[in-house]
Amino acid sequence: MIPKSIWLTLLFAVIISLSIFAMIYFNSRHSIIHPPKTLNGFMRQAIYTAYTPEGKLRAYLKAPVMLHYAEENSSYFEKPDALIYTSKRIPWYVTSNYGISKNGTNWVYLWGNVIIHQLTTGGHPDTKITTTALIIHPQTETA
């Protein structure tokens, strides 16, 4: 039979091992979900407008709150409301509760009551899509 002190030592070793594992695991998960960022700019009632080389409207975005971070040239939006034109000049209206972008506008992630709406235009029927989340790649006009 093993003495009581050995059982206590083993129990403490297991508890310490589990504690160390939990600290490492949860700390690494936290840094992936919430990477450390330095706020670069804060805007209220922000408006972003982009034009084609010909001077035609390409995209229009407004948001009550927008935060910009230097890391990855990323931004956070609350209640973004956007009008985006495809290269064929087909307008899409996009709204959501939240959004983030990385590398400027190369990658945009929207979540929370995302609504994508295209009005009837030249052979394209009225289209409305509702989802919980959406990733948009504006440069390639894909989502």
State mean pLDDT over 18-41: 59
Question: Are 86 and 108 contained in the same domain?
Answer: yes
Question: Are 47 and 12 contained in the same domain?
Answer: no
Beta carbons within 8 Å of 55's beta carbon, 6+ residues apart: none
CA–CA gap between residue 113 and residue 103 (Å, rounded): 24
Instruction: Write out pLDDT tens, residues 61-76.
Output: 999 999 888 888 888 9
Return the pLDDT at 138. 79
Question: Are 44 and 104 contained in the same domain?
Answer: yes
CA–CA gap between residue 15 and residue 130 (Å, rounded): 47
Dihedral through CA 10, CA 16, CA 22, CA 27, nearest 10? -160
Provide the domain limits for residue 21. Answer: 1-34
The structural domain count of the chain equals 2
- The model's pTM: 0.68
Question: Are 118 and 70 contained in the same domain?
Answer: yes
Question: Are 74 and 132 contained in the same domain?
Answer: yes
CA–CA gap between residue 129 and residue 54 (Å, rounded): 30
CATH number for 112: 2.60.450.10
How confident is the prediction for the chain on average, in pLDDT? Answer: 81
Question: Are 50 and 10 contained in the same domain?
Answer: no
